Amino acid sequence: MRIGEVAEQAGVSVRALRYYEEQHLLVADRAAGGRRRYPESAVERVRLIQRLYAAGLASATVREVLPCVDSGETEASPALLERLVDERALIDQRITDLLSVRDRLDEVIGVARNPDLGCAHDDTRPGGRPGTIWKRSHEGR
Amino acid sequence: MRIGEVAEQAGVSVRALRYYEEQHLLVADRAAGGRRRYPESAVERVRLIQRLYAAGLASATVREVLPCVDSGETEASPALLERLVDERALIDQRITDLLSVRDRLDEVIGVARNPDLGCAHDDTRPGGRPGTIWKRSHEGR
DNA sequence: CTAGAACCTGACGTTGACGTGAGGTGCAAA
DNA sequence: TTTGCACCTCACGTCAACGTCAGGTTCTAG
């Protein structure tokens, strides 16, 4: 595939793909003339990279982690393993933060929608999953 | 409280607090001599700001949202309400991403720990196991 | 053959959330 | 009084993940 196709299908910019290559997150061989050629699998890989970024991993960490996630295994050093465990802890923290913030937003939104129910509980919220996903707006970052 | 105390108790830098003031996220009155004085409540407010940032909200959004979250109500425009709903959707997306990434990490970590199948008794890591959140993620897309 | 997409390599610009001095002030203790 | 730390206000530096412009090349449709 050409870079433009990959970009479109993965929903990122061409510049982003060149940046990923610069950062050694994504490789491409070159056709005669110097243009990048990607395998089909590149699309999925880019989506994975996006998810990792969206999860707040630093690019250096992504660089370390990607090979493992690719192969589905770690032969790596215990040092890297520790890094992964630490990253997992950070991600847990971020999830907790996000859930907390989402709950606050839900409160505010709920009150704004039903100003009369000032003190009433929103009982459409069973203990586990707070709130309903009312709307899915799609926006990159 | 003085700025140094707030900073320490909230776990942020003094510079960060001055930055928040610059961004109108946090106010302080001044003692004679020009030094900032904060109420005790400032610590919690700073922690909230941190959570909002950690949740990936843009600073402009934080600025808009903070008064609502503060007062626990929205008298604001339907435009702001829509913003909040959109933000909620983004947060949901981020949560989904994080859960997905966390699962990938768990796979890798699991394999690295038990290269030959599953008796998971080795839990003697430094720092211990982070988080009580062990629920499996439902795939979002 | 020619126009014009699509691509290439630099290289500088952008934005957010602070970091990091520089140079001066306030205040409590010794 | 003097030390000395915490604090003050500029104001420039940083870093990541790209955006954007410049100036040139290559591929494809007509």
Report the 3 state secondary structure along A64-87.
HHHHHHHHCCCCCCHHHHHHHHHH
Lowest mean pLDDT among A90-99, B40-49, B123-132: B123-132
Q: Do B109 and A81 touch (CB under 8 A)?
A: yes
Residue of A nearest to B78 (CA): A112
- Kindly state the average pLDDT of the residues A50-79: 75
Give the Cα separation of B75 and B84 in Å (integer): 13
Helix locations, chain B, DSSP H: 3-10, 14-22, 41-54, 59-71, 78-113
Please check the confidence at residue A64 and state whether its pLDDT lies above 90. no
**pLDDT over 80 at A120, yes or no:** no
pLDDT tens column, A69-116: 666 565 656 777 888 888 888 888 888 888 988 888 888 788 766 765
pLDDT-derived band at B130, boundaries 50, 70, 90: very low
Question: Could you tell me if B98 and A94 are in contact, meaning their C-beta atoms sit under 8 angstroms apart?
Answer: yes
- CA B22 to C1' D10 (Å) is 13
B30: β partners: B36
Spacing of A60 CA from C14 C1' in Å: 22
When pLDDT is averaged across residues B111-134 and rounded to a whole number, the result is: 47
Domain annotation for chain B: domains and CATH numbers: 1-55 (1.10.1660.10)
pLDDT score at A128:
35
Protein-contacted positions of strand C (CB under 7 Å): 6-9, 16-20, 25-27
Contacts of A74 in chain B (CB under 8 A): 108-109, 111-112
| B120-139 as b/e: b if 16+ CB within 10 A | eeeeeeeeeeeeeeeeebee
**Residue B34, CB, strand D, below 7 Å:** yes
Residue appearing with tokens 């990959």? A6
Give me the pLDDT at residue A61, please: 82
Q: Do B94 and A54 count as a contact with CB atoms less than 8 A apart?
A: yes
- Model confidence pLDDT, tens digit, residues B83-101: 888 888 888 888 888 898 8
Tens digits of per-residue pLDDT, A6-39?
A: 999 999 999 999 999 999 999 999 999 999 999 9
